[in-house]
Amino acid sequence: MQDALIRIEPFFLEGLHGPLFCLYLAPVDRTATESVLYLHAFAEEMHKSRRMAALQARAFARAGYAVLQVDLTGCGDSAGDFGDATWEAWRDDARLAHGWLAGKVPGPVTLWGLRLGASLAIDTAATFANVSRLLLWQPVVDGNQFLTRFLRIKLASEMLSEGQAQTGTKELRAKLEKGEAIEVGGYLLAPDLARGLANLNLAELPPTCTVEWIEVGAKPSDDIAPAGRRVVEAWRTAGTRVHTQTVQGETFWVTQEITECAQLVETTMKVVAR
């Protein structure tokens, strides 16, 4: 996607667990005074959503923001295999990427994440000094439930190939607890990463900055799904300022074909400008 209004610089950032592939985007006609750090979705959701992430990053850059997109350890073009990934390693990656971006652009930083990347942004935001807002696209609200759904992919695959599932989620979790990695949909899930996911509960992580929470659904609304609503209520009780919105579109991170949600990009630019 060529765009004469922005420049795009690919590079590797030396991380604690190996080189991290990054894309830095910035406007060509002005000096950016604010920046955006993007944290991607989990496993196959990351690949399904690459185009939407690229479209949004370019929209930010055209509007005058500097944007850093980073492939976390074991993901995309960064060092390591998926089986090497842990939640703590991803927290380290996010902190390193934020530090690089804050050194490049001294102004406020927006932490933007999709799905589990949004959850990672929430989990790390409190450790960053200059985060002005959290921009959350369809965040995973309960890591334990998310882990269960991910493990069910393996069961569904077994049913398709062998006529029946050879195990259940309880058995798979027991293997993980014993320190055994499990292959799910072509991704090797390590016990440490599974443990990090299982312990993730957004209701217990109220941010101190303003939050823009946007979901994708069948029809537009100022509200979000019940699971997210419960988290937002807990955050508001804790004093967090949260704006919620649902835009109409397809859940592009899980569709069979690569799809776009133009309304999500348009709405995101409006709420950030606000």
135-150: pLDDT as tens digits: 999 999 999 999 999 9
**pTM assigned to the model:** 0.95
Instruction: Say if residues 40 and 16 touch (Cβ distance below 8 Å).
Output: no
pLDDT at 164: 55
pLDDT higher at 264 or 154: 264
pLDDT tens-place string over residues 151-175: 999 888 766 665 555 578 889 999 9
Q: Hunting for tokens 């610089």 — which residue is that? A: 9
pLDDT tens-place string over residues 63-102: 999 999 999 999 999 999 999 999 999 999 999 999 999 9
pLDDT grade for 219, boundaries at 50, 70 and 90? very high
Instruction: Say if residues 46 and 250 touch (Cβ distance below 8 Å).
Output: no
pLDDT higher at 115 or 162: 115
pLDDT tens-place string over residues 225-259: 999 999 999 999 999 999 999 999 999 999 999 99
Domains and CATH numbers, the chain: 6-141+203-273 (3.40.50.1820), 143-199 (no CATH)
Examine the pLDDT at 61 and tell me if it is beyond 90.
yes
